[in-house]
Amino acid sequence: MDTHTISPLRLLLKAVLLFLGLNLLCATLSPMPALGQLSLYNNLLPGRQRLPYGDDPQRSYNLNLYSIEAMFASHVLTGAPKPADEFRVFVIGDSSVWGFLLENDDTLSAALNAASLHSADGRRVVFYNLGHPTISLTKDLMLFDAAMQYQPDLVLWPTTLEAFPWGKQLASPLAQNNPQRVTALAERYQLPLAVPAETRSPFASLFFVHQRRNLADMLRLQLYGFAWAATGIDVHIPAEYERHAVDLEPDESYAGLEPQLERDELAFEVLAAGIQRAANVPVLIINEPVFASDGANSHIRYNSFYPRWAYDSYRSLLAAEAETQGWQYVDLWQAADNGEFTNTPIHLTPQGTLQFAYAIIETLSSQFDLNP
């Protein structure tokens, strides 16, 4: 028997030194963006039809993560160079674009693709779902900024009042967890976004301590890819869910704002930044459908999201801003029947999504010469 004894203290010291050294190396190299681009998707696995998002990963084979690189690397958009015969349209926005409670085949992008549109020069129009289920124009801008390298020919930007208040711009976890990206956008476009300074203990700033969640999420995204590829499922739709409210509270408040809404209370500058970022690529801003209640207190509110005064002011302000700035804008707030909303006043059923898509197609036909 080898009787050479081991010093636990020395063992521990070596382990700590190795850990610190590896952390230092990783902190110096900043490998997270590069790691995020490593993906089985579009290689061994098919790319996803929409950006990763899932509150119930074990049933949706999908999950929430904050690495924009990993999110895009998993999307079918990034799988191959843009074909010459493709007229590429990005659809950005919130959960109603992403397709909350909708199968992949029932999302807005899928409905638009089903119309088999062609551009005037004969290219087939392909719509890409780049929605993400949190409501914030800044979050939309951040994703749009990352997506621009994939050469869109047109951008559809459905949105709603909830995305506009300045106070809600950084409420999206995706924005909160990408402070460098938000700060860069704020600086580039002079946006008054106060990104909170990171407050971490020295220990928490160690690479593996700080990035362990991101690393684990990136790995889990790859692993869930197999189940996604096997089943085609990327969303869990419960058999029963609570429908949106029809009878409403007699509450006139909205986001701490007072009637009438003032232009400066809404983040039009973020919208303008997006259009500036698009440069020569046209952007169609769309006021997306919302439920308009005829139940209790419907004279005060349209729905559980919006009091009438706030939503009416917002529509007027957005239309006026679009006209002043020369933006292409269409107001489709009533494009879906009232019976076609699901769990919130903005989430649509497959039929409601089709109605919304038809309304968009009319605009695309008249304003962009995209036709079946």
Partner 1 sequence: MTLQQIFVFAALGLLAGRAYGRISRPWLLFAASVLAVFWLQPAALVRGFDFWLPAASLGLAALVWALTLPPDARPSREDKLAAAALAAGALLLAATRYLGTPILTASRPPQVELVAALAAVLALLAWLAARSLRGRAAALGAATLAVLAILVALKAEPLARGLNAALRSLSGQDPALATALDLNWLGFSYIAFRLVHALRDRAAGRLAHYSLRDFVTYIVFFPALTAGPIERVERFVPQLHASFLLGAAELQAAGRRLVTGLFMKFVLADALAYFALNPALAAETTSTLWMWLLLIAYAWRIFFDFAGYTHIAIGLGLLFGVRLPENFARPYSQPNLTAFWNSWHITLAQWFRAYFFNPLTRFLRTHNWPVWAVVLVGQVSTMALIGLWHGITWNFLIWGLWHGVGLFVHSQFAAARKGRPAPAAWQHAFSVFATFIYVALGWVWFVLPQPAQALQVLRVLLGLS
| Interacting residues toward partner 1 by CB under 8 A | 1-6, 8, 11, 59, 219-220, 223-224, 226-227, 229-231, 233
Q: At closest approach, how far in Å is the CB of 58 from partner 1?
A: 8
CA separation for the pair 372, 360 (Å, rounded): 13
Q: Which is nearer to partner 1, 204 or 219 (CB)?
A: 219
Q: Which is nearer to partner 1, 11 or 194 (CB)?
A: 11
Q: At closest approach, how far in Å is the CB of 363 from partner 1?
A: 37
Q: Are strands 328-331 and 124-131 parallel, antiparallel or unpaired?
A: unpaired
CA separation for the pair 75, 151 (Å, rounded): 15
CA separation for the pair 105, 126 (Å, rounded): 14
Q: At closest approach, how far in Å is the CB of 3 from partner 1?
A: 5
Q: Which is nearer to partner 1, 229 or 300 (CB)?
A: 229
Q: Which is nearer to partner 1, 6 or 279 (CB)?
A: 6
Q: Which is nearer to partner 1, 11 or 25 (CB)?
A: 11
Q: At closest approach, how far in Å is the CB of 25 from partner 1?
A: 21
CA separation for the pair 164, 304 (Å, rounded): 17
CA 244, chain centre distance (Å): 22
From the list 320, 303, 322, 314, the residue with the least C-alpha distance to 257 is 314
The answer to whether the Cα torsion of 284, 359, 369, 133 is positive or negative is positive
DSSP 8-state symbol, 74: T
Q: At closest approach, how far in Å is the CB of 209 from partner 1?
A: 16
Q: At closest approach, how far in Å is the CB of 14 from partner 1?
A: 12
Q: Which is nearer to partner 1, 45 or 292 (CB)?
A: 45
CA separation for the pair 66, 52 (Å, rounded): 10
Secondary structure (3-state) at 289 = coil
